[in-house]
Chains A and B, each alone.
Chain A
Amino acid sequence: MPRGQKSKLRAREKRRQAQIETQRSKSQRSRRAPPTTNTSAGVSCTRSDEGAKNQDEERPSTSQASASTDDPHRTPLDQKAILLVEFLLRKYNMRDPITKQDMMRQVIKKHKAHFHVILKKASELMVLAFGIDVKEVDPIRHRYVLVSKLQRTSDDRLRGEKIMPKTGLLMTILCVIFMKANCAAEEDIWEVLNVMGIYADKKHYIYGDANKLITEDFVQERYLEYRQVPNSDPPRYAFLWGPRAHAETSKMKVLEFLAKLHDTVPSAFPAWYEEALRDEEERARARFASLLRIGTTANVPSGVNLGSLSQL
């Protein structure tokens, strides 16, 4: 005899309760998640946020304090960690470098003494939820970058768009380097940037310290390489594409960028177009070659699914 609806529901409920109980005893922290609907979280945020029209300069601590009223298990440090996650995600999206100073000023605020704990919690959440590592690249000046733990694939770009939202400047530089036979003198770069109103000695409204950005930040992020010209005295420097630029974009993409700026097509620059085409062929060949390698060798890094041939 098949069981009736009611007894099925009762059994299901019992099983679920048992599940929740075992989870609670298993988990280290036994914290429960906050309200189920985002609306209620949002409303409780705003109630103490804004009084009058233009009074929304409230510190995030106010909003996050009320956001937790529905969940007594959230400690203030957890709340800060959540706000730090929001902060970091916005930096990831814009590919900005992150300093401890920024984090302190914008998010940590009065919890300065607990910076490391908050950062550690936030980093854990970043890894678990988004597969993003928070890495300290400069332990002296306390600068961090966000790196995906997941392997990059060539198809990560939809419709061939640039992945780098912090676009114009980097693309322009990559363009100049390409046009100067893949190695551009520092003076060449500044000549172009100056035309755009970006100067080495003046703070730019969007890019800030442009000199630091291109000689340090982009280099650290491996988009550019900044090398001394051999035997130059006084020392002169040149820029080359960094490995990340090679991975995330291509000569053809950069040429398309240039063509768009001049309202034309890549083939309007025959010499560069030739080179870009050769580069595309080379990439296709490399992809094909590594496909064969993955299929035939047993030497596969852990975590790579042999069945997924598109993972390069």
Chain B
Amino acid sequence: MQPEVPSYMQGSTRRVGIMTDVHRRFLQLLMTHGVLEEWDVKRLQKHCYKVHDCNATVEKLEDFINNINSVLESLYIEIKKGVTEDDGRPIYALVNLATTSVSKMASDFAENELDLFRKALELIIDSETGFASSTNILNLVDQLKGKKMRKKEAEQVLQKFVQHKWLVEKEGEFTLHCRAILEMEQYIRETHPDAVKVCDLCHGLLIQGQSCETCGIKMHLPCVAKYFQSNSEPRCPHCNDYWPHEIPEVFDPEKEREAGISKSNKKPLRSRQH
């Protein structure tokens, strides 16, 4: 009933991964949601065990995911873990590494739409805040490759990017969706080697963050939160100058869950990144 994965799909030197319906259901549901927070992922994992194999002990999430990844490796697919740039939530998404460019979006978008994305991406990377205004993006509509696109159409396309979780909109400005960062980080670093910003602490791609006004280094908000936690006199790790920005709080899943229970009847926040 649960066929073992054929050898041509298994990871070579590491331990051989076994796929069962538990893992398949997990993957299907993860894909359906696009990107999930760690707490939801753990619930999802438990749910999948409950449905298919309720007597088994639920494997530690990290091992569970590594197991799946070892099987999917030969398809250039993996479950990748990241952290949202604005509030440090741990997130997971299924990313595809077979195509490492905007062409991975080609199944859903026309040539001129893909070019619009590239233009928006450039504006986002070059911006100070990590956000590109709708106006600035739409002004580039004349420079697009492919069929001519009107500004009205471009507005719709931007909404389509949001719907497909490539971009996020916040008060008329656009930035990358956390899933897009996970899936396209490599592509972005390769194609914008000079313009791209990098976090001084974790060395990961940086779209949004805080910067030192003296020496210019940048750090992710969650990296800042962790680095300066309970430090009353935060100083730049590079030039030691006083760090002028408000230090955000480290993300606490427990506190989040309590707040979530009492918040269940309220409108969801628009600025949430998933």
Task: List the interface of chain A (C-beta within 8 A of B).
Answer: 23-24, 26-34, 36, 38, 41-43, 45-46, 49-50, 53-54, 56-60, 63-64, 67, 73, 82-83, 85-87, 89-94, 96, 102, 106, 125, 128-132, 148-150, 153, 155-156, 158-159, 161, 163, 165, 167, 205-206, 260, 263, 265, 302-303, 305, 307-308, 310-311
Contact = CB atoms under 8 A, between A and B. Distances in A.
A83 B98 contact: yes
B75 A85 contact: yes
B9 A63 contact: no
Given A53-B192, A58-B103, A83-B98, A150 B77 contact: no
B191 A31 contact: no
Contacts of B271: none
Nearest to A23: B7
B25 to A, nearest CB: 5
Given A46-B187, A85-B75, A303-B1, A63 B32 contact: no
A-B pairs with the 7 shortest C-beta distances? A131-B24, A31-B8, A56-B101, A205-B156, A33-B74, A27-B7, A45-B100
B202 interface: no
Nearest to A155: B47
B103 A86 contact: no
Contacts of B11: 33, 36
Interface of B: 1, 3, 5-14, 19, 21, 24-25, 27-29, 31-34, 36, 40, 43-44, 47, 50-55, 71-78, 94, 96-104, 106-108, 111, 114, 118, 153, 156-157, 159-160, 163-164, 186-187, 190-192, 265, 267
Contacts of B74: 33-34
B73 A38 contact: yes
A264 B78 CA distance: 40
B104 A86 contact: yes
Contact of A150 (B7, B21, B98, B156): B21
A101 to B, nearest CB: 13
B8 A128 contact: no
A60 B25 contact: no
A83 B187 contact: no
Contacts of A265: 265
B99 A93 contact: no
Contact of A38 (B12, B55, B97, B164): B97
Given A33-B12, A56-B102, A165-B32, A129 B71 contact: yes
A42 B107 contact: no
Contacts of A41: 76, 97
Nearest to A197: B156
A107 B52 CA distance: 34
B101 A50 contact: yes
A106 B78 CA distance: 22
A89 B50 contact: no
Contact of B108 (A23, A36, A90): A90
A170 B136 CA distance: 32
Given A32-B12, A50-B190, A308-B50, A106 B107 contact: yes
B33 A158 contact: yes
A89 B12 contact: no
B98 A206 contact: no
23 contacts: A33-B8, A33-B73, A36-B13, A38-B76, A38-B78, A49-B100, A53-B192, A56-B102, A63-B101, A86-B104, A89-B96, A90-B108, A102-B107, A129-B27, A130-B27, A131-B27, A131-B28, A156-B47, A158-B33, A161-B33, A303-B1, A305-B53, A308-B52
Nearest to A159: B40
A165 B274 CA distance: 12
